[in-house]
Amino acid sequence: MTQPPAITTAHVACIMDGNGRWAKRRGLPRTEGHTAGEEALANVVRVAAKRDIGWLTVFGFSTENWVRPPSEVRHILGLHRKLFGRVEELNANNVRVNWIGRPFDEPGSRTPRAVQQAIAKAIEDTKHNTGMVLTVAFDYGSRVEITRAARRIATDRAPFDLASMTARLYDPSLPPVDLLIRTSGESRISNFLLWQAAAARVYFTDCSWPDFGAPQLDEALSLLTSRRA
């Protein structure tokens, strides 16, 4: 077995792509791919918590994903409730849950109340953990986030500079992304953390998200060790 790369604490972001294509190749409904993808995420969280990763941010559901078929959206929403409900496992791995996306009380927010409650409960139930921070981007779009920050600067009559923009993002405490991972052969970043990932290393892989695990994560992390060598 290869040893996991030794890195300093990093912020890793994942675009978890390929669930539907994974299912199609197996003659399964797309919903089965999303179910397998949720299991893969739970495994990646367990693995990442044992690496020197301080922050893991995943693209759970974008502002554009609402146009998918209603049955598929309902299934994905159910999986997110399941993800946020894994509190016992998250606590066992000392993982603290975080969330970014359109605030629930602002115009345009579409996060159902049941998912809102699951998010709030997971954040509350893991708030004392001191290990890796798992941030789920749900009902998230980076251009919406940046536009909102710019509008808040104007409303606050604050200086229009980098510090003011950063302070008005959904979560200003998130550090810059060190490594951005995109699975399933797509070579684009799809409106994800455009501000935070400005200087990130980018790792593209043909591996579909349901098949992404420790070997693939360690290969991606090797980009950071080569940069810091």
What residues are labeled active site?
A: 17, 65
Are 152 and 103 in contact, with CB atoms under 8 Å apart? Answer: no
Q: What would the two tokens of residue 81 be?
A: 């409730």
Q: Is 144 exposed, middle or buried (0-12, 13-18, 19+ CB in 10 A)?
A: middle
Pairing of strands 53-62, 10-15: parallel
Q: Is 34 exposed, middle or buried (0-12, 13-18, 19+ CB in 10 A)?
A: buried
Q: Is the dihedral of CA 102, 104, 107, 112 positive or negative?
A: positive
β-sheet bridge partners, residue 55: 11, 133
